[in-house]
């Protein structure tokens, strides 16, 4: 058997974007308006990830229920975790789960793609 | 008397068969119309996005474009679900992946950034992704309308497979 199995963390910290942040996520930066991807990452996602690391849990982000997501929001919120040097995509593999129903599955795929393709800024 | 009964039975069977064929044709036509409408909506959204990305952040119509693009994205997300119900799983996944790429070009990058410059490359990407996605929808639709696919669907094969998957917790890989 090659490679290492992904470690599954059992306890969960759940963030429901529509309930805990906004039903109408905005754009990329805080400077451009409310409920931006930058604000979501800094106010909700990072604190939850740090708490999850401390208690050996994982963070589940449920993206259902919102009106929709600009892709720039998803890139800044999720890709920004790697780009800003907070975590590597490998660390997020076991620490972060993005959950979506059939309606928002394309957004989930996008967010996961942004995490995988993000590169830390030099 | 027997002859009359046989004639009546044959007539009833014929009528039932004709009704079934007519219902199947109506369902096929409706499915084709749904996919055609989805393809049109994708291309219309790409045109709207091209107008948005060719304008810079100073344009007075930017906020209107942004609202319309978010509405168009929501429309496509929901419409996709009803249009692909006949698609085989692998065609549904291809459309889902194509939709994700399309969203990336539509509202990614500097979307909703106040002082952004015009982005002709992204306008072009929207058009190209839309064309790709519209063809994926058409391919999935054509495959779903073949006689073999309709028989498989009629026998409930996909439903049975999902049931077995849940029963044995077998996760079919997407690719």
Segment-wise mean pLDDT, segments of 10 residues, chain B, 175 residues: 88 93 88 94 97 88 94 94 89 93 94 91 96 96 82 70 67 52
**Chain A residue closest in CA terms to B80:** A103
Rg (CA), chain B: 23
Q: What is the pTM of this model?
A: 0.84
Q: Write out chain A residues lying below 8 Å of B111, CB-based.
A: 27-28, 70-72
pLDDT at B153: 73
Separation between Cα atoms, residue B98 and residue B116, nearest integer Å: 26
Q: Classify the complex by whether its ipTM is higher than 0.95, answering yes or no.
A: no
pLDDT at A57: 93
CA dihedral B119, B122, B123, B128 (to 10 degrees): 160
Chains A, B: CB pairs < 8 Å: 63
Q: Could you tell me which residues come within 8 angstroms of residue B125 by beta carbon, excluding any fewer than 6 positions away?
A: B105
Q: How many CA atoms lie within 13 A of B71 on its CB side?
A: 8
Largest CA distance in chain A: 49
B70 closest CA partner among A61, A30, A73: A73
Chain B nearest C-alpha distance from A66 (Å):
10
| Of residues A67, A72, A109, nearest to B111 (C-beta) | A72
pLDDT at A35: 94
Q: Could you tell me which residues come within 8 angstroms of residue B115 by beta carbon, excluding any fewer than 6 positions away?
A: B57, B58
**Chain A residue closest in CA terms to B100:** A106
B100 closest CA partner among A45, A75, A68, A109: A109
User: B57: left (phi > 0), else alpha (psi -120 to 50), else beta?
Assistant: alpha
Separation between Cα atoms, residue B72 and residue B49, nearest integer Å: 10
φ, ψ for residue A63, nearest 5 deg: -100, 5
pLDDT at B11: 94
Chain B nearest C-alpha distance from A71 (Å):
4
pLDDT at B171: 53
Q: Quick check: helix, strand or coil at residue A15?
A: strand
pLDDT at A11: 87
Asked if residues A87 and A77 have their Cβ atoms less than 8 Å apart, the reply is no
Examine the pLDDT at A121 and tell me if it is beyond 80: yes
User: Per-residue pLDDT averaged across A44-49, rounded?
Assistant: 96
Examine the pLDDT at A4 and tell me if it is beyond 70: no
């Amino acid at each position: 058997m090659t490679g290492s199995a992904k470690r599954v963390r059992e306890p969960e910290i759940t963030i429901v974007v529509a309930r805990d942040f906004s039903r109408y996520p905005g754009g990329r930066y805080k400077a451009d308006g409310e409920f931006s991807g930058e604000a979501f990452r800094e106010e909700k996602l990072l604190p939850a990830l740090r708490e999850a690391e401390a208690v050996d849990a994982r963070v589940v982000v449920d993206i259902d229920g919102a009106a929709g997501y600009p892709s720039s929001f998803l890139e800044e919120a999720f890709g920004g975790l790697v780009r800003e040097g907070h975590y590597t995509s490998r660390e997020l593999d076991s620490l972060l789960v993005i959950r979506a129903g059939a309606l928002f599955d394309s957004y989930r795929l996008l967010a996961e793609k942004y995490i995988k393709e993000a590169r830390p800024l030099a | 008397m027997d002859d009359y009964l046989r004639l009546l039975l044959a007539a009833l069977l014929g009528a039932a068969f004709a009704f079934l064929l007519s219902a199947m044709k109506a369902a096929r036509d409706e499915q084709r119309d749904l996919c055609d409408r989805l393809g049109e909506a994708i291309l219309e959204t790409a045109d709207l996005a091209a107008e948005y990305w060719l304008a810079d952040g100073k344009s007075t119509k930017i906020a209107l474009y942004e609202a319309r693009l978010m509405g168009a994205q929501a429309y496509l997300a929901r419409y996709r679900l009803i249009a692909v119900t006949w698609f085989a799983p692998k065609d549904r996944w291809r459309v889902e992946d194509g939709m994700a790429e399309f969203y990336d070009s539509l509202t990614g990058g500097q979307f909703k950034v106040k002082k952004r410059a015009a982005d002709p490359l992204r306008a072009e990407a929207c058009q190209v992704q839309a064309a790709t996605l519209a063809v994926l929808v058409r391919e999935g639709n054509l495959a779903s309308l073949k006689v073999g696919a309709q028989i498989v669907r009629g026998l409930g094969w996909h439903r049975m497979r999902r049931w077995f998957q849940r029963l044995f917790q077998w996760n079919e890989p997407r690719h």
